[in-house]
Amino acid sequence: MAFGAAVVEVLAALGFSWARMTLALIISIIFSLLVGIPAAVNRIAEKIIIPILDVLQSVPILSFFPIALYAFIMIHPIIGPELAAIFLIFTSQAWNIAFGVYEAVRLIPHEIIEVSKSLGLSGWRRIFDVYIPAAFPRIAGNLPPSWANGLYFLVACEMITIGEARWRLFGIGTLSTSYILSGRVFEFTLSLISVMIAIILTNLLVFIPLMRYGERYKFEERAAEVPRVWFEKPLRRFRELLGGLRPGKRLRIPSVELPRLRSISRIAIILLILSAAACIISAVKPRLEVILWGASWILTGFAELGLVNPLVMIGFSLLRVSLAIAIALLWCVPTAILIREKRILESVLIPAFQVAASFPATLILPLIAKLVVDAGLPLELGAILMILLGTQWYILFFLVDGVRSIPFEEEEVCRALGITGLGKLRHLYLPRMLPFLVMGCLVAMGGGWNTLVVAERIVLEDFVWDVGNPGIGRILSIAVSMGDIPLLVASTIWMVGFIAILNRLFWRRLYEKAAELVGVAR
């Protein structure tokens, strides 16, 4: 292929991929505001939304393939695959932005909320004038890792394969894969260079200006209390009203009317329940056979997995993800502190990290696999490397945001008392970074479970990377390759169940303890 034609093809593919990524990112930001703000200001919403986000961020992108297939691709043969790709990219971008919005709104100083109330700001005005501006820095700070995660799974999103059904969308992911697998090194190198240039321009022209602009919305210090939920004020006024009523003025229903009212209400409730039951039975009865067949169809997946095998697979996968996160912490913590200590390094390291984070590791997966195999290294090392490439940036950017939020007053106190080195690390950095570190690890753990479907096994046309040892991501990939939807659903349920228990019993409790240490727990 001539150089000019190759350049045109690469640029066209890059444009298609960037358009899909941009649309998915916009949808992710809107989604994050819609779920993150209610979760931060309302305890009931928090108890519902946060566990769901904990689980959804850990569901591998392969598990969303059936949804993409039946919900989007079947809509239209041309538009459907594009919608499916955007939806799949969204599932890899949205969760850490949503957690960032939740965290930012949750940490708004209580004084700011009280001022907004004293000014008589309505709920909508408070959202647009307080909550969204407060969340803006975290949204901007999470754009690079979200973009990076979307690029990480770009190949899988543009090459949707379930059994014999295959869809290949024109984009830089599919184009680069076809280049490397067909041995067209020059075109593959050209595609990598174009991706690097596009990533650099995207960071310089979009992400970094947004992050700089978001600095003006950051609070210098964090209050110990978090804004009260929206319904506390109406309830307080209602209680005061009841308390202010004298016994003689309280409304009383005549006792002679009570039996009649009670009997009427009971009859109405019974009729309502019977009507609802009749509607449900009439709606379900024609489909009862289909429902029972679907349930038995999914049970075949559980029977195929057994009871011990899923636990072994999850154990291997948990070990891989934990090792990758431990390795990430070893360099992310000191790097974040160094960026805080040496401000001049921020302008150099942050753009470099953003570019490195945005580079899609899956584009060089064949090269990593070949390097590991040719060098005779354990395949597990390659798997951990792939997980590390997909998780470390979450931790780094959360920690960088954490050190940026340290009040200058506390740093001045350390300087005045001569606290430096390990003492400063112990008394200032670690306590202040701890909530961000825990949240970063939680999000990174979710991202790590996602990357398993790439790190443990991935099929790129005729090339197959497989670690060989058990893994929940590996069995998900096998299920997708075979088109075995019952096995895919059963594996996903096993994985989601374990992640929900892990998040509930470990990560959420750890985060609450970390928040209490810095005085921001509710």
Cα gap 149→93, rounded to integer Å? 6
Predicted confidence band of residue 228 (pLDDT cuts 50, 70, 90): very low
pLDDT band at 274 (very low <50, low <70, confident <90, very high): low
Q: Is residue 259 scored above 80 in pLDDT? A: no
Most confident of 41-55, 146-160, 214-228, 308-322: 308-322
Tokens of 267: 């009859």
Q: What is the pLDDT of residues 280-292, one digit of tens each?
A: 555 545 555 444 5
Q: What is the pTM of this model?
A: 0.65
457 vs 163: CA distance, rounded Å:
15
The secondary element (H helix, E strand) that includes residue 411 is helix 408-416
Give which of 517, 381, 492 is closest to 437, Cα–Cα. 517
More confident residue, 264 or 225: 264
Q: pLDDT tens for residues 121-157?
A: 777 788 888 888 888 888 988 888 788 778 877 777 7
What does the pLDDT read at residue 282? Answer: 58
**Residue 176 CA: distances (Å) to CA of 62, 64, 88, 181, 195:** 21, 24, 19, 9, 10
Q: At residue 125, what is the residue type?
A: R
Structure tokens, 398: 């959360």
Task: Give residue 449's pLDDT.
Answer: 81
pLDDT confidence of 425, banded at 50, 70, 90?
confident
pLDDT for residue 111: 76
Give the pLDDT confidence score for residue 249 in this predicted structure.
43
16-30, 255-269, 404-418: least confidently modelled range? 255-269
Q: Where are the domains of the chain?
A: 3-219+305-517, 261-294
pLDDT band (50, 70, 90) for residue 272: low
pLDDT of residue 252: 41
Portion of the chain with pLDDT greater than 70, in percent = 76
- Please tell me the CATH superfamily of domain 3-219+305-517, with its number: MetI-like (1.10.3720.10)
Range with the largest mean pLDDT of 35-39, 125-129, 299-303: 35-39
Distance CA 418, CA 10 (A): 56
Q: Above 90 in pLDDT, residue 27?
A: yes
Of these ranges, 88-102, 224-238, 353-367, 462-476, the one predicted with the greatest mean pLDDT is 88-102
Residue 391, classed as helix, strand or coil, is: helix
* Tens-place pLDDT, residues 445-454: 877 887 787 7
Mean pLDDT of the chain: 76
Residue 298 identity (one-letter amino acid): I
Measured distance CA(314)–CA(489) in Å, rounded: 15
Residue 50: what residue type?
A: I
Burial class (CB in 10 A: 0-12, 13-18, 19+), 285: exposed
* pLDDT (tens digit per residue) in 176-206: 877 777 777 788 888 888 888 888 888 888 8
Q: 433: which 2 tokens?
A: 């970074």
Decide if 149 contacts 447 (C-beta within 8 A).
Answer: yes
Strands (E) in 386-482, as ranges, are: 457-460, 463-466
Q: What does the pLDDT read at residue 256?
A: 40
Mean pLDDT across 414-441: 79
Contact by Cβ (8 Å): 511, 435: yes
- Give the residue from 316, 392, 14 showing the smallest Cα distance to 174: 14
3-state SS record for 484-520: CHHHHHHHHHHHHHHHHHHHHHHHHHHHHHHHHHCCC
